[in-house]
Each structure stands twice: as structure tokens, then as C-alpha cells.
């Protein structure tokens, strides 16, 4: 959430930032409401000041038994009445203003490319070489069927379309991947592992920026105001809601595995076959709480941690800086990692690494005591997928397939697959 004072004092810059995102929020209405509230509050404060002066004067007159005190009492009551008339007007404006503020996005960093749509994103670098085999590649759907490792038909019977049932070595591969990532991030990169709830309350979803904007994309319980987590970012960021860090405890870095649940409202009919767009998927998340001065350096470090996952999995990928129209609502800057799927001939987003500056921290009231000011100030929060598994599995199957349809296991995963060097068809 942006500070209303910042919006007020930088109205033109905020309007441009919102426009660069391709949004039209009517900030004029918000500023008008803010001005009206400030006018009413100032008027109330002036009346309270006059009433306090009168109260002191009345007390002195009554103490000295001077005449005229009763007249002043009437004047004080009149002031109280005016104050009581103004108070509900302020109380009526405050929730409207708060709701409008929740719908104002973060300001994009000056380095973010201005534009809309994927074509305006900027490719920063690439890693690895896409395979050029001398045999016909099978896509991940064909490989999954050949190997018997994913059963989409039975998953649909159990739940519905766009859910996944991993079987046998497919289930083992899924478990191997997130265990490998958790070990990498905890043992080498220094993150603390947490295992959070899969259900979160409305306050948690609002704090990280999923609500109110993205509510239609979320799974909400009918009888309780709880949501299935769309990403571990939500519960992990909220670990420190309404808390104040010691500066020496920053950066605070967490990693967490969760299943993630998204309705993907409005996306039906688009990339809906196989693992490309599913309603439940596994993901290992990276979350950082840092000082404002270090947050953009920490973003680059976070990105490298996510990149190492793909490098160790021997997957060609590229780093893409998202443009203003593609950066998420709460982020100021975001990099996507896109892995190459050679049979599908497409780049698949498998990670987003974002700096939210103090946007989430203001909503969640997360601060640290600054050594510079000796006052509580808002932290900066960052997170990134380290990485998301559904699409990573697509890239792994398609990049590491052999002519017979078996899948070679990357060296980094061998300890997690009982030393097996490949996934083969158990019936051949």
C-alpha cells in the first residue's frame, strides 16, 4: 500500500505510474476524498482546541466563584455538538479512503521498461543451449503417457479438469524436486525452512496484495473466511505481520514448500492441456525481509538463488525483466525465469522474483528499528519462486528425454531418486 501522504505530495508521478501499468483508477477521486477528510479533521481539531480553552476558563471562573461561568458552559456544549456532528462524516470517509488505497498499485522502479504485453518485456540474459537431438522429440503429455508417470484422466475423475495425479516415478520425481530445492536453499543459500499452513485468513491475503484485486482467482472456503494459499508468499510474509525487527536481524530469509491453489479465472481455453496451467501445483518459495537500502541488491541475489536451481537441473532458461504493464500489482520490479521446453517450442515461466519495497510491509505493518533514526521504519519485502514445479517438470521431461522416451535424471537429483539415472516405462 502506498502512503497517502506520498500520493498527495507526488500526485503527478503516481498518476503516471498507474497509467504506465495500463490502469485507470481515478486518483482524482481519491485525492478529493483525502482533502475532504483532512479539512474535516482540521475543523474538528480547531473546535477541540477552542473547547479545551473554554473548559480551562470555566474551571478558573468556578474556582474563583466569578459570574458568567454558566454562559461559557453553554458555549462549550455548542462546540461539543459541532464536533459530534463532524465525527460521523470523518468516519464515513475513512473506510472509503482505505478501500481506494488498497486498489492503488505499487510504483514501478525507474529501471522497469515502460510498456504493456509480453512484447515489451526485456530479455536480460540466457543460460544453457537448447538441445538439438537427432530424433523426434515428444512433448510432456506424450512422455507422461508413455512412462505412466502422470494420469490426467483419473485426476479429472477425482476432482475435475486441470488437476494432476502423479503416479509412481512421477510422484517420486515431484518429491525429489522440492526436496532438492529446499536442501539447496537451506544448506547453500542460507534460508531458514518453514512449513506454513495451507489456509490463510483475509488479513493475510490483503497484506500481501492478493486482495481485494485478485479475489476471483482464489479458492475461498464457503463457511469460513479462509483462502487456500495461492503461493507460500502469503503465509510466510505474514509470519511477521504487526512485528518490529531488530536491524541486526535483517535480512531475514525464509524458504517454504507448499502446494499452491489458483482458480485461474478467465484463463479457460488457454494452455489448458497438461501441466501448463493447473489449479494445484507444488512450489518452493523464497521470501526476504530486508532494509530499504539493500532491497534491490537483495533482489539480484534472490534471482541468482532461483537461477541456480535451473542450472543444476541442466535446463536452458532466460531471465526476463517485466515491463510496467506486466509487473504484478504489489511489486516495484520483477524478473521472470523462463525455461525452454524444446518439444513444445515455448518458453515457460517457472519463477518470478520480485521486490515489493515497503508496499506489503505497510499493509502488514512490518517494521524494523533503524540504527540511523532509532525509530521503527517499514522493511522491504521480496519473494521469488525457487522454483514452481508444474512447468519445471515440463521442461525437465522435454529437455532430458532420450530416443526411447526414457528421461535422464540430472546429476543434482540422483541422491533424491535412489540413485536411478533415468525414468523408464515400467512395462517395457
Kindly give the confidence (pLDDT) of every residue in the chain, 428 residues in length, as a single tens digit, with 9 standing for 90 and above.
999 999 999 999 999 999 999 998 889 999 999 999 999 999 999 999 999 998 888 888 877 666 667 778 888 899 999 999 999 999 999 999 999 999 999 999 999 999 999 999 999 999 999 888 899 999 999 999 999 999 999 999 999 999 999 999 999 999 999 999 999 999 999 999 999 999 999 999 999 999 999 999 999 999 999 999 999 999 999 999 999 999 999 999 999 999 999 997 545 555 567 999 999 999 999 999 999 999 999 999 999 999 999 999 999 999 999 999 999 999 999 999 999 999 999 999 999 999 999 999 999 999 999 999 999 999 999 999 999 999 999 999 999 999 999 999 999 999 999 989 999 987 76
Sign of CA dihedral 183, 184, 190, 191: negative
Furthest-apart CA pair in the chain: how many Å?
Answer: 109
Helix axes 69-102, 27-63, angle to 10 degrees: 160
**pLDDT score at 270:** 55
Query: Which residue ranges form the domains of the chain, and what is each CATH number?
Result: 4-102 (1.10.287.40), 118-423 (3.30.930.10)
CA 304 to centroid of chain Cα atoms: 19
Task: Give the Cα separation of 184 and 191 in Å (integer).
Answer: 9
**Rg, Å, the chain Cα set:** 28
**pLDDT score at 361:** 98
At residue 337, the 3 state secondary structure works out as strand
113 CB-near residues (< 8 Å, 6+ apart): 120, 121, 122, 321, 322, 323, 324
Task: Give the Cα separation of 254 and 235 in Å (integer).
Answer: 11
**pLDDT score at 273:** 76
Task: Give the Cα separation of 144 and 379 in Å (integer).
Answer: 44
237 CB-near residues (< 8 Å, 6+ apart): 207, 208, 287, 360, 364, 366, 381, 383
Task: Give the Cα separation of 401 and 366 in Å (integer).
Answer: 46
CB 177 within 8 A of CB 413: yes
- Cell numbers given for 334: 520483477
- Give the closest residue to 101 by CA, choosing from 359, 331, 379, 333: 359
**pLDDT score at 261:** 98
Kindly give the pairing relationship between strand 407-408 and strand 333-341.
unpaired
Q: Does pTM top 0.75 for this prediction? A: yes
Helix runs in 139-262, H state only: 140-147, 152-158, 169-183, 202-208, 233-237
CB 314 within 8 A of CB 409: no
Catalytic residues: 262, 277, 349, 352, 391
**pLDDT score at 26:** 83
Q: How far is CA 250 from CA 42, 294, 370, 372, 418, in A?
A: 39, 10, 11, 14, 38
Sign of CA dihedral 27, 203, 296, 258: negative
Number of H helices, E strands in the chain: 12, 15
- Cell numbers given for 227: 483462502
Task: Give the Cα separation of 395 and 44 in Å (integer).
Answer: 63
- Give the closest residue to 286 by CA, choosing from 382, 159, 168: 382
CB 97 within 8 A of CB 37: yes
CA 387 to centroid of chain Cα atoms: 14
**pLDDT score at 57:** 87
User: Omega before 149 cis (within 30°)?
Assistant: no
**pLDDT score at 271:** 59
126 phi, psi to nearest 5 deg: -130, 160
**pLDDT score at 23:** 93
Q: How far is CA 28 from CA 24, 25, 90, 215, in A?
A: 11, 9, 19, 25
Count of CA atoms in the C-beta half-sphere (13 A) of 374: 0
CB 196 within 8 A of CB 235: yes
CB 308 within 8 A of CB 287: no
**pLDDT score at 247:** 97
At residue 164, the 3 state secondary structure works out as coil
Amino acid at each position: 500500500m502506498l502512503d497517502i501522504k506520498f500520493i498527495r505530495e507526488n500526485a503527478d508521478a503516481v498518476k503516471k505510474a498507474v497509467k504506465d501499468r495500463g490502469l485507470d483508477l481515478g486518483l482524482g477521486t481519491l485525492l478529493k476524498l483525502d482533502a475532504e477528510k483532512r479539512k474535516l479533521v482540521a475543523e474538528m481539531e480547531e473546535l477541540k482546541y477552542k473547547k479545551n480553552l473554554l473548559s480551562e476558563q470555566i474551571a478558573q471562573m468556578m474556582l474563583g466563584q466569578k459570574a458568567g461561568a454558566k454562559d461559557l458552559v453553554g458555549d462549550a456544549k455548542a462546540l461539543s455538538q459541532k464536533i459530534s456532528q463532524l465525527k460521523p462524516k470523518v468516519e464515513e470517509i475513512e473506510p472509503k479512503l482505505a478501500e481506494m488505497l488498497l486498489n492503488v498499485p505499487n510504483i514501478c522502479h525507474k529501471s522497469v521498461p515502460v510498456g504493456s504485453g509480453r512484447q515489451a518485456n526485456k530479455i536480460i540474459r540466457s543460460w544453457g543451449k537448447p538441445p538439438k537431438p537427432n530424433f523426434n522429440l515428444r512433448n510432456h503429455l506424450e512422455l507422461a503417457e508413455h512412462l505412466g508417470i502422470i494420469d490426467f484422466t483419473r485426476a479429472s475423475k477425482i476432482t475435475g479438469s486441470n488437476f494432476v495425479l502423479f503416479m509412481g516415478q512421477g510422484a517420486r520425481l515431484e518429491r525429489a524436486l522440492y526436496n532438492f530445492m529446499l536442501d539447496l536453499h537451506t544448506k547453500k543459500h542460507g534460508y531458514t525452512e518453514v512449513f506454513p499452513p495451507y489456509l490463510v485468513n483475509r488479513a493475510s491475503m490483503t497484506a500481501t496484495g492478493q486482495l481485494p484485486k485478485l479475489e476471483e482467482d482464489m479458492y475461498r472456503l464457503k463457511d469460513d473466511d479462509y483462502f487456500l494459499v495461492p503461493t507460500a508468499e502469503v503465509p510466510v510474509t505474514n509470519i511477521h505481520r504487526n512485528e518490529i525487527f531488530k536491524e541486526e536481524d535483517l535480512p531475514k530469509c525464509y524458504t517454504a514448500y507448499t502446494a499452491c491453489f489458483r482458480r485461474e479465472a478467465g484463463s479457460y481455453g488457454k494452455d489448458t492441456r497438461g501441466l501448463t496451467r493447473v489449479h494445484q501445483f507444488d512450489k518452493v518459495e523464497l521470501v526476504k525481509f530486508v532494509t530499504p537500502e539493500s532491497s534491490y541488491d537483495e533482489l539480484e541475489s534472490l534471482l541468482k538463488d532461483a537461477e541456480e536451481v535451473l542450472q543444476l537441473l541442466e535446463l536452458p532458461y532466460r531471465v526476463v525483466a517485466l515491463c510496467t504493464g506486466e509487473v504484478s500489482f504489489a511489486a516495484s520490479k520483477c524478473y521472470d525465469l523462463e525455461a525452454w521446453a524444446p518439444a513444445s517450442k515455448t518458453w515457460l515461466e517457472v519463477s518470478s522474483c520480485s521486490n515489493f519495497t515497503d508496499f506489503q510491509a505497510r499493509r502488514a505493518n512490518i517494521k524494523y528499528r533503524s540504527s540511523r533514526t532509532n525509530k521503527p521504519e517499514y522493511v522491504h519485502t521480496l519473494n521469488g519462486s525457487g522454483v514452481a514445479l508444474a512447468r519445471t517438470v515440463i521442461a525437465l521431461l522435454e529437455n532430458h528425454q532420450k530416443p526411447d522416451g526414457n528421461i535422464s535424471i540430472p546429476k543434482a537429483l540422483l541422491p533424491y531418486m535412489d540413485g536411478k539415472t533415468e525414468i523408464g516405462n515400467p512395462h517395457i
